[in-house]
């Protein structure tokens, strides 16, 4: 609490009982139960992305960490600040190989930038403070603190002071000069944005620079949080399919990297490159993700004399809702028309949502959160954390049915905490993206058994029943008129709800 961590997403066990009882003794800590650790870690990710400060988790030994690991992986890739607390056996108990004993540190290292096991109760306060400082390390980090049970029941050493938090580094003058030279060269240039370059202020500066120099402006394939919508600079992203990405980057001679990395394909495919930039394209690193990106862009804008220019922002477009049959395009239209001001959109709509970003670019200003680690099952937990972080904003969770099934327990937490989230499940009843990938990797002679691994029918999932069973009111819609009506109602109400859209 003294280090500014006042929210804990938790799924505890015996080794964490002292921590749990302490919650009632320390005023101000909000503790939220998740019924699966993937909900806990995904929620901490959503919280950290929205507030740029860490929540804590509380996980039960190695298996608890393992259950939470997929979404910790996503958080690690998104560089979200999280104080990830994992309980362990008392130090003297570890040698006996009791059932829950495992190598927690090794597991934690794969998804954390900082890992420490507190050796004793006297160290636990300073280790906790160090974990908080590490989580705040630029641009944000998963810091895992492993707490043996006896660190909680032996005598401690009192409160520890928070060590200084590392500030993002300022970029070197040469990086700014080099970017300016490339942008002035007249050769085709692209400014590729990632990380905090996609926040409103930085994006506005990048927009001014692009407008003046004629460079193209693009975002990496996914971003942890993009501040977008009317009144802001609209930005496309590098497409996921390799051929489309190659086409997008074709002819670019200078790639200015701002909080981004030179693009790589999501997967390798036979006879397709891993690196996507053209061979004769020069990369210029203006700012890494952990640098002070806003400052680097201000400096470059000054260098190019565009700081005082108006940012080329997108204006609110007259929007109409779609009617008739449900299709991805129709859903995009209606989302574009209905998305409320300051919505937090959590997007794991995969195949159905390919056009959603474009369709909503001129909606009222909102935030857009994406999966940075490719491990599906993120949107429902991420929505929990975003809603806890920003109780005055509506969270719109766009979820594919296959992805949703990994962590649907999040709905129960949404109900218990009365979180203001509308979840839209796109029930195409298949792993549609993998059907395309079958062709992309050149797999041939696809038979019934293979297709059975990609279809989600027999039986059809009943999202309305599952949602209601966890306390979240739900409806199924099978026309755009019904979607428009139900989605509008859900936006007007407070609290969680779910809409199953049958495609």
Ligand X SMILES: Cc1ncc(C[n+]2csc(CCOP(=O)(O)OP(=O)(O)O)c2C)c(N)n1
Contacts with ligand X, residue ranges (CB under 6 A): 70, 350-352, 374-377, 400-403, 428, 430-434
Q: Which is nearer to ligand X, 281 or 376 (CB)?
A: 376
CB of 48 to ligand X, least distance (A): 20
Q: How far is the CB of 23 from ligand X (least distance, A)?
A: 31
Whole-number minimum distance, CB 101 to ligand X, in Å?
26
Separation between Cα atoms, residue 279 and residue 284, nearest integer Å: 14
Q: Write the CA distances from 327 to 357, 361, 470, integer angstroms.
A: 15, 19, 28
Find the farthest-apart pair of alpha carbons in the chain and give their distance in angstroms, rounded.
69
Pairing of strands 30-33, 7-10: parallel
CB of 453 to ligand X, least distance (A): 9
Shortest separation between residue 212's beta carbon and ligand X, angstroms: 39
Residue number with CB closer to ligand X (352 or 409): 352
Q: How far apart are CA 378 and CA 135, in angstroms?
A: 20
Q: Which is nearer to ligand X, 33 or 434 (CB)?
A: 434
Minimum distance, C-beta of residue 354 to ligand X, in the bound complex (Å)? 9
Closest CA to 301 of 183, 390, 410: 183
Which one, 129 or 405, has the nearer CB to ligand X?
405
**Inter-residue contact 3 to 165 (CB < 8 Å):** no
Nearer of residues 355 and 488 to ligand X, judged by Cβ: 355
Nearer to ligand X, 67 or 260 (CB): 67
Looking up tokens 């032996």 gives: 154
Give yes or no for a contact between 215 and 256, defined as CB atoms under 8 angstroms apart.
yes
DSSP secondary structure letters along 26-69: STT-EEEE-SSHHHHHHHHHHHHHHHSSPEEEEEEHHHHHHHHH
Nearest distance, CB of residue 124 and ligand X, angstroms? 33
Token duo for residue 44: 């901490």
Nearer to ligand X, 118 or 423 (CB): 423
User: Please, what is the minimum distance in Å from the beta carbon of residue 332 to ligand X?
Assistant: 14
Report the C-alpha gap between 213 and 198 in whole angstroms. Answer: 19
Residue 375 or 467: the one with the smaller Cβ distance to ligand X is 375
Helix (H, G, I), strand (E, B) or coil at 332: helix
Gyration radius from the chain CA atoms: 23
Distance of CA 388 to the CA centre of its chain: 15
Shortest CB 349 distance to ligand X, Å: 7
The residue at minimum Cβ distance from ligand X is 402
> Residue 163 or residue 374: which is nearer to ligand X going by CB?
374
Q: 7 vs 371, which CB is nearer to ligand X?
A: 371
| Dist CA 182 CA 363 (whole Å) | 34
Question: Nearest distance from residue 402's CB to ligand X, in Å?
Answer: 3
Residue at token pair 């495992």? 102
Closest distance to ligand X from the beta carbon of 45 (Å): 14
What is the C-alpha to C-alpha distance for residues 266 and 147, in angstroms, rounded to an integer? 36
Q: Angle CA(169)–CA(170)–CA(175) in degrees, nearest 5? A: 120
Angle between helices 328-338 and 480-492 (to 10 degrees): 30
Pairwise CA distance, residues 501 & 503, whole Å? 6
Nearer to ligand X, 153 or 267 (CB): 267
């Amino acid at each position: 609490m003294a280090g500014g961590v006042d929210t804990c997403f938790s799924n505890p066990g015996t080794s964490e009982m002292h921590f749990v009882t302490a919650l009632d003794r320390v005023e101000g800590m909000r503790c939220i139960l998740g019924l699966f650790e993937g909900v806990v870690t995904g929620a901490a990710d959503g919280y950290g992305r929205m507030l740029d400060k860490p929540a804590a988790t509380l996980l039960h030994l190695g298996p608890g960490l393992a259950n939470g690991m997929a979404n910790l992986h996503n958080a690690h890739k998104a560089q979200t600040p999280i104080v990830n607390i994992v309980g362990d056996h008392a130090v003297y108990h570890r040698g006996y190989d009791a059932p829950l004993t495992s190598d927690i540190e090794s597991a934690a290292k794969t998804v954390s930038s900082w890992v420490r096991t507190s050796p004793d109760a006297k160290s636990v306060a300073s280790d906790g403070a160090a974990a908080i400082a590490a989580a705040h390390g630029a641009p944000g980090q998963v810091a895992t603190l492993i707490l043996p049970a006896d660190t909680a029941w032996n005598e401690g050493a009192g409160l520890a002071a928070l060590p200084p938090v590392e500030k993002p580094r300022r970029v070197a003058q040469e990086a700014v000069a080099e970017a300016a030279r490339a942008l002035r060269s007249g050769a085709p240039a692209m400014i590729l944005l990632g990380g905090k370059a996609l926040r409103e202020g930085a994006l506005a500066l990048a927009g001014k620079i692009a407008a003046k120099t004629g460079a193209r402006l693009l975002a990496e394939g996914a971003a942890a949080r993009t501040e977008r919508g009317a009144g802001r600079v609209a930005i496309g992203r590098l497409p996921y399919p390799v051929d489309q990405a190659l086409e997008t980057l074709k002819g670019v001679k200078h790639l200015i990297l701002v909080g981004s990395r030179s693009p790589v394909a999501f997967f390798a495919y036979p006879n397709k490159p891993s690196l996507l930039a053209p061979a004769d394209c020069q990369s210029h690193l203006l700012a890494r993700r952990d640098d002070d990106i806003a400052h680097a862009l201000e400096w470059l804008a000054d260098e190019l004399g565009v700081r005082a220019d108006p940012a080329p922002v997108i204006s609110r477009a007259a929007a109409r809702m779609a009617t008739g049959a449900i299709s991805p395009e129709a859903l995009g239209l209606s989302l574009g028309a209905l998305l409320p001001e300051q919505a937090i959109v959590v997007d794991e709509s995969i195949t159905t949502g390919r056009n959603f970003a474009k369709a909503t670019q001129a909606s009222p200003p909102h935030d857009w959160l994406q999966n940075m680690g490719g491990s599906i099952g993120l949107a429902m937990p991420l929505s929990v954390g975003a809603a806890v972080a920003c109780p005055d904003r509506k969270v719109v969770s766009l979820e594919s049915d296959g992805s949703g099934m990994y962590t649907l327990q999040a709905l129960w937490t949404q109900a218990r905490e009365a979180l203001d989230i509308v979840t839209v499940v796109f029930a195409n009843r298949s792993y549609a993206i993998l059907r395309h990938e079958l062709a992309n990797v050149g797999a041939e002679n696809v038979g019934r058994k293979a297709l059975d691994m990609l279809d989600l029918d027999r039986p059809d999932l009943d999202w309305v029943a599952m949602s209601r069973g966890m306390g979240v009111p739900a409806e199924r819609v099978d026309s755009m008129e019904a979607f428009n009506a139900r989605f509008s109602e859900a936006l007007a109400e407070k609290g969680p709800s779910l809409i199953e859209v049958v495609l």
